Amino acid sequence: MPPSLGHAGSSSSSSLVHLLSPLPLSTSYSLPLLSPTLSPSSLLLSPPPISYYLLQHYVQTPYIISVWLLLASLAKILFHLSQRFTTVVPESCMLILLGLVLGGVVLLAHEKQLYQLEPGLFFLFLLPTIVGDAGYFMPSRLFFDNLGAITLYAVVGTLWNAFCTAFCLYGVKLLGVIDEKVDAGLMDFLLFGALISAVDPVAVIAVFEEVHVNDTLFIIVFGESLLNDAVTVVLYKVYMSFVEVGPANVGTAECMKGLVSFLVVSLGGTLVGLVFAVILSFTTRFTKKVRIIEPLFVFLLVYLAYLTAELCSLSAILSMTFCGIGANKYVEANISQKSRTTVKYTMKTLASIAETIIFIFLGISAMDKTKWAWDTGLVACTLVFILLFRAMGVIGQTWVLNRFRLVPLDRIDQVVMSYGGLRGAVAFALVVLLDGEKVKAKDYFVATTIVVVFFTVMFQGLTIKPLVKWLKVPRSTNRKPTINEEIHERAFDHILTAVEDIAGLQGYHHWRDKWEQFDKKYLSKLLLRKSVYQKSELWEAYQKINMRDAISVIDQGGNVLTSRLSLPSMASRSSFPEVTNVTNYLRENGSGVCLDLQVIDNVPGARVEEDSETHHFLTGNLYKPRRRYQSHYSRHFMPAGEQERQEREVFQRNMRSRMENFKTSRHKRHKKDRSQKKVFLLYLRLGSQGVGVEGNYLPKSTALEACDSPSMASPTCGERFLPWKVGAGSLPPCVSVEATKVIPVDLQQAWNQSISSLESISSPLNLNPNPRVTALSPSSVIPNPNLRFMALPPPTLNPNSNLRVVALPPPALNPNPRFSVLSRLAGQRPVSSPPCSFSQSEKEQQKEEEEALSEQQQEEQPLMSVRPPAPPLSSTPGERRRNPCVYLRSLVTVPPAGNTETHSRGPTQL
Amino acid sequence: MGNKQTIFSAQQLDAYQSYVPFQRLFSRYRDLAPQLVPLDYTHQPDVKLPYELIGSMPELKDNPFRQRIAEVFSEDGEGNMTLDDFLDMFSVLSEMAPRDLKAYYAFKIYDFNNDDFICKLDLVKTLNKLTRNELTEDEVRMVCEKVMDEADMDNDGRLSLEDFQHVIVRAPEFLRYRHTPQ
């Protein structure tokens, strides 16, 4: 016999070690997959000597494995040729049928079954791939939400099934329904009951994945199938020992031992899994330089968790499941995107192929007459009993559960759960593992198990889909909530939150809240890369966009967004006023891209798009309810202090609108303003220490620096510094003369003041004790919108700091006011030519916007909107220009303070 | 609680049994104005707490709907609540309350002008409360149009209770306590 390694009973460490020892690359090694009697020639119906030697070759083992894998994969392709067929017949059924056919062929040829599902192979290689995949991609939130129910079903349900089935079978045997030939006592039946009662993860995944019942239902059945492993292992082991010592010698001590070993096996397995999860997460923290082997760590450590638990005779499935669940969050955050994809696909591929092989071999194994003996009474009774007790167990437990569950499981759920209790390969592998010497009725049990497995997988698997449809079980849907729902739900969130708070209802998720806090405080710091937990997603997005922007600015010589295709700009709500109507807006900018990654860019139609747009800005703007009652579960992923949370929300919102406004302002500037030439922007950069100090935006050491921006420099002097204008001795033609004309004489003084104030700030030597006032008070004439945007500090910035930078409402950033003010100015003063030609409707909108401006912004507006006077043309055109790369970097990251010297030249030259 | 024991008649206690955290609710209610709320409730004292007090509860302070909730549940419609009103509010919004009842009160809460229809004005108010007036008029108008579009079955430009219930039927998560596992 090949090393038949026990999942449970016979999984002594020695046999494990034996099996784990490196495969001897000799001809003597026979794959556990193949029965030892296999002569190589038997693979071919008429063995020519050449192939004999060929197969005797050392490539035999891997060759056979590969061929089987290929066969399984091809079978999959075949089944999926017909779409209609696969929607009716589950794949698992087809695979079993294929196995039956293959087994039949082999049987006809050799009158002996050569292949069968070997427990060693199954438990060591096939099962782990499936469980690993299941654990790693387990929806952990859902799983832990329903953990109570899952555990109850897994432990109590399985015990109930096992005992009832066993005792009833024994009773039926005493009544004489089961043939006398079946030589089995109570202990044998208990053993059989233990292995036949457990719901099988492989079968459940295979069948339920195609049924698409709702998530709760799925996770309960599926979670049960994973967690009941511990029960099965312990029962199986305990009864094995009972059978060995003989029923007469079983006393209370043994029973107690069984109970204790259950705790040890289940908790120990979980613990091993969690330890490995920590190791895995911790390891991936340091793989930055060796990205290429990141996925390997995931596979290896998850697999090691399985093997280690098996080695210690603990529940391997539990171990692997919890390793996957535990590590997923941290690993996903640590490893790179590509590794993530690799892990995902490899796991899915392996699991899928393992599943295929399991089902094929189940079919093949069934075609082995020598292994089993048929007894109609036993088979029929077993089938009836497992179905009956499953249903009774589910109903009873659900009745208990529903008294505690806030969302009760209704009748339909119970039917599906009862019906979904599928048995599968685990039961089969366990029954094959039985020792025929001690369990005399083994052959009968094998036959019964095969029938049960086939019945559940094929018959129930086939019928569960129509059943689900007929019962109208709520399916899992990806339907987006309608706008009504979105609004009403949010509104009622607010209302209910208040009620819950006052009533002091202990949230269901009290513990999860605690856990999340613990996770945030300690675990994340230990297991996540620094860069990961310090950087919020928003910041990543922000930096990316910033980078992209900067590149395009440089690439396109300031003509930002000339090609909207190459630079998807954000369709932002702030641009609505421009077009009165979103529909028009969207029609105009079909390629609008929004920050919301979930809004996919395929555009099925204006209506849908409009909807999604509405959803998008609703999601962005509906405030989340705020909780007072501390111990409550938080709706945010990372619970923060109440205050902090609210502030963060406001802050993020501001950030977002700032970003969007920035984008749109550029976009619009480009669109409307093309004739008008580039406007002028001072990029204010802050030294890195300058940021993140609460309440004091610019600490004393800050090197605040103003540098000219390509796109927004003063039309004249700014242009000269543009990197791409190197050598352009004269004013670029796009600088309109009007722009300079617009500046009222009396404002020139204000402008000059602003320049000087900027200079004073930007000089590193000038340690202003309270730079905030100087730099950002409304009276200072720093050209505004862009400054505000660019000056946003790294994530540590507390929104609380009374910066005007962050706190200014979005409209101030909108370029429209600028124009409106300009036009107003133009109207007031007899300026030779208006700065721009607006249509009547546009002007109206601008007026609306103007009204929206706060007083203080009103004060600022004229200042910021005014074009600076043309600087003396005597400035040397050949002035040193800023290196685009440096500029780029400055946009994306905050440079160290010491590095600011070169940049600060810009403003002083103004 | 010693001599500060609150007194209720057996009948009252019986009626209040259904409020699960009754003790807590009562103490919260009383804490708002200890000088007003008597400990002895057997004589059905006619005590009303003014809205200012109700609205000042820290849990409600930031709630955009606080005034509306209080108004809907108070007998006088102005947010001044008796103990019964106060408890009613919780019983209606508690987990145990039937969905239809909740939906009815939800409708009433939305119906700012008490005309038994949710009209555009009501929606605008709701939206502005939810977004803290951050949407522009155009956006608000658009959302309102959408909402009407989706839910207004009889095309009269406003949502009746039937319309509203119809919407809610489609949203299984609606009115469900957020902290329930789903």
For B169, nearest residue in chain A (alpha carbons): A485
More confident residue, B62 or A449: A449
Q: What does the pLDDT read at residue A536?
A: 56
- Check if the beta carbon of residue A189 is closer than 8 Å to that of residue A162: no
- On the question of pLDDT at A699 being above 50, the answer is no
The partner residue sitting opposite A496, judged by closest CB among B93, B132, B143, is B93
Element (H, E) at A705: strand A705-708
Q: Is the pLDDT of residue B151 over 70?
A: yes
What does the pLDDT average to over A469-488? Answer: 68
The pLDDT confidence band at residue A211, using thresholds 50, 70 and 90, is: confident
- What is the distance between the alpha carbons of residues A115 and A122, in angstroms, rounded to a whole number? 13
What is the structure's pLDDT at A299?
93
A389 pLDDT more than 60: yes
- At residue B58, the pLDDT reads 72
Q: CA-to-CA distance for A212 and A64, rounded, in angstroms? A: 35
> Among A52-61, A623-632, B7-16, B157-166, whose mean pLDDT is lowest?
A623-632
Residues B115-119, mean pLDDT to the nearest whole number: 81
Give the model's pLDDT for residue A539: 65
Predicted structure pTM score: 0.56
Asked if the Cβ–Cβ distance from B130 to A494 is below 8 Å, we say: yes
Rounded average pLDDT over A477-485: 60
Query: Contact A456/A418 with Cβ under 8 angstroms?
Result: no
Highest mean pLDDT among A126-135, A174-183, A481-490: A126-135
Which DSSP category does B118 fall into?
A: B
pLDDT at A650: 65
A614 — pLDDT class (breaks 50, 70, 90): low
| Cβ contact A484–B150 (<8 Å) | yes
Least confident of A249-263, A282-296, A364-378, A851-865: A851-865
Minimal-distance CA residue of chain A relative to B57: A502
Q: pLDDT at residue A815 above 50?
A: no
3-state SS, residue A82:
coil
Could B126 and A487 be called an inter-chain contact, meaning their C-beta atoms sit closer than 8 Å?
yes
Please say whether the beta carbons of A449 and A361 come within 8 A: no
**Is A412 a residue whose pLDDT tops 70?**
yes
Residue A407 backbone phi and psi in degrees, to 5: -110, 100
The vertex-A887 CA angle with A885 and A893, nearest 5°, equals 95
- More reliable by pLDDT, A609 or A192: A192
Residue A529, Cβ density class (10 Å: 0-12 exposed, 13-18 middle, ≥19 buried)? middle
- Give the model's confidence band at A76: pLDDT under 50 very low, under 70 low, under 90 confident, else very high: confident
**Over 50: is that where the pLDDT of A565 sits?**
no
Q: Would you state the pLDDT for residue A814?
A: 41
Q: How confident is the model at residue A714 (pLDDT cuts 50, 70, 90)?
A: very low
Three-state SS for A807? helix
Q: CB burial class (10 A; 0-12, 13-18, 19+) of residue B157?
A: exposed
Per-residue three-class SS string for A101-169: HHHHHHHHHHCCCCECCCHHHHHHHHHHHHHHHHHHCCCHHHHHHCHHHHHHHHHHHHHHHHHHHHHHH
- The predicted pLDDT at position A559 comes to 45
Mean pLDDT for A808-824 is 41
Rounded mean pLDDT, A730-753: 46
Sequence-distant (6+) residues with CB within 8 A of B44 are: none
Average pLDDT, chain B: 71
Q: Is the pLDDT of residue A391 over 90?
A: yes
Tell me the pLDDT of chain A averaged across its residues: 65
Angstrom distances, CA of residue B40 to CA of A423, B21, B47: 63, 19, 12
A522 CB burial (10 A radius; 0-12, 13-18, 19+) = exposed
pLDDT at A144 over 50: yes
Instruction: Look at residue A393 in the predicted model and tell me its pLDDT.
Output: 92
State the smallest CA–CA distance between residue B13 and chain A in angstroms: 17
Asked if residue A394 has pLDDT above 80, the reply is yes
CA distances from A274 to A299, A305, A351, B88 (A): 15, 9, 22, 47
Considering A395-409, A446-460, A679-693, the range whose residues carry the highest mean pLDDT is: A446-460
CB contact under 8 A, B63 and A626: yes
Query: Residue B41: is its pLDDT beyond 50?
Result: yes
**Which one, of A309, A335, A283, lies nearest residue A526 by Cα?**
A283
| pLDDT value, residue A634 | 32
Whether the CB-CB separation of B25 and B19 falls below 8 Å is answered with yes
How far, in Å, CA of A322 to CA of A315, rounded? Answer: 11
A588 vs A461, which has greater pLDDT?
A461
What is the phi/psi pair of residue A115, to 5°?
Answer: -115, 145
Partnered with residue A684 across adjacent β-strands are: A706
The more confident residue out of B135 and A710 is B135
| pLDDT tens-digit readout, A648-678 | 666 666 777 766 666 665 555 454 444 443 3
Which residues in chain A have their CB less than 8 angstroms from residue B129's CB? 491
- Percent of chain A beyond pLDDT 70? 49
C-alpha–C-alpha distance, residues A366 and A363, integer Å: 5
Average pLDDT estimate for A882-894: 42
pLDDT of residue B56: 77
Tell me: pLDDT of B2 over 60. Answer: no
Q: Are strands A705-708 and A682-685 parallel, antiparallel or unpaired?
A: antiparallel
pLDDT level of residue A639 (50, 70, 90 thresholds): very low
Select, from the ranges A48-62, A403-417, A499-513, the one with the highest average predicted confidence (pLDDT). Answer: A403-417
Give the pLDDT mean for B75-84: 77
Distance of alpha carbon A593 from alpha carbon A601, whole angstroms: 7
Whether the pLDDT of residue A549 is over 50: the answer is yes
CA A840, A846, A851, A852 dihedral sign is: positive
How high is the pLDDT of residue A625? 55
Closest-CA residue in chain B for A624? B130
Q: What share of chain A is helix, strand, coil (3-state, %, to 5)?
A: 65, 0, 35
In this model, does residue A17 exceed pLDDT 50? no
State percent of chain B over pLDDT 70: 70
pLDDT above 80: residue A824: no
pLDDT at A318 over 80: yes
Report the chain B residue with the minimal C-alpha distance to residue A494: B63
- A83-92, A725-734, B69-78: the lowest-pLDDT one: A725-734
Q: Which of B132, B170, B181 sits opposite A508 (nearest CB)?
A: B181
Average pLDDT score over residue span A628-647 = 41
Q: Given a cut of 60, is residue A456 above it in pLDDT?
A: yes
Contact A801, A794 (CB under 8 A): no
> What span, in angstroms and rounded, lies between the C-alpha atoms of B133 and B9?
47
Does pLDDT of A567 surpass 60?
no
Winning range, highest mean pLDDT, from A168-182, A881-895, B143-157: A168-182
More confident residue, A597 or A102: A102
CA distance A254 to A271: 25
Whether residue A373 is predicted with pLDDT greater than 60 in this model: the reply is yes
Residue A349 has pLDDT above 80, yes or no: yes
Q: How far apart are CA A311 and CA A900, in angstroms?
A: 60
DSSP A764-785: TT---SSHHHHHHSTTS---HH
Is A502 buried (19+), middle (13-18) or exposed (0-12) by CB count in 10 A?
A: buried
**pLDDT value for A311:** 92
**B174:A576 CB<8 A:** no
CA-based nearest residue to A166, from A236, A241, A244: A236
Q: Answer whether B171 sits within 8 Å of A509, measured CB to CB.
A: no
pLDDT of residue A608: 57
pLDDT at A688: 37
pLDDT of residue A571: 41
User: Following DSSP, what letter does each residue of A563-592 receive, concatenated?
Assistant: STTTSPPB--GGGHHHHSSHHHHHHHTTT-
| Residues of chain B with C-beta less than 8 angstroms from the C-beta of A505 | 20-21, 179
The confidence score (pLDDT) of residue A278 equals 93
The pLDDT tens digits of the residues spanning B45-60 come to 677 777 777 777 777 7
Cβ neighbours of residue A213 closer than 8 Å, sequence gap 6 or more: A416, A468, A473, A474, A475, A476
Within 8 A by CB and 6+ apart from A17, the residues are none
- How would DSSP label each residue in A624-667? PP----TTSPPSSSS---HHHHHHHHHHHHHHHHHHHHHHHHHH
| Nearest in space to A516 (alpha carbons), one of A626, A641, A619 | A641
3-state secondary structure A339-367: HHHHHHHHHHHHHHHHHHHHHHHHHHHHC
Can you tell me whether residue A38 is helix, strand or coil? coil
Contact B176 A617 (CB under 8 A): no
Neighbour count for residue A731 (Cβ, 10 Å) = 19
Cα separation, A803 vs A343, in Å, equals 44
Mutation pick from A142, A215, A499 vs chain B, by most beta carbons of B within 10 Å, is A499
Task: Identify the pLDDT of residue A598.
Answer: 37
Q: Determine the length of chain B.
A: 182
Q: Longest C-alpha distance within chain B, in Å?
A: 61
Of the candidates A119, A112, A14, the one whose C-alpha atom is nearest the C-alpha of residue A434 is: A119
| Gap from A324 CA to chain B (nearest CA, Å) | 22
Rounded CA separation A888/A884 (Å): 6
Centre a 10 Å sphere on the Cβ of residue A896 and count the other Cβ atoms it contains: 11
Tell me the percentage of chain A whose pLDDT exceeds 90: 11
Q: What is the pLDDT of residue A68?
A: 85
Residues in chain A with CB shorter than 8 Å from the CB of B94 are 499, 503
Residues of B in contact with A643 (CB under 8 A): none
pLDDT, one tens digit per residue, over A595-610 is 333 333 333 445 555 6
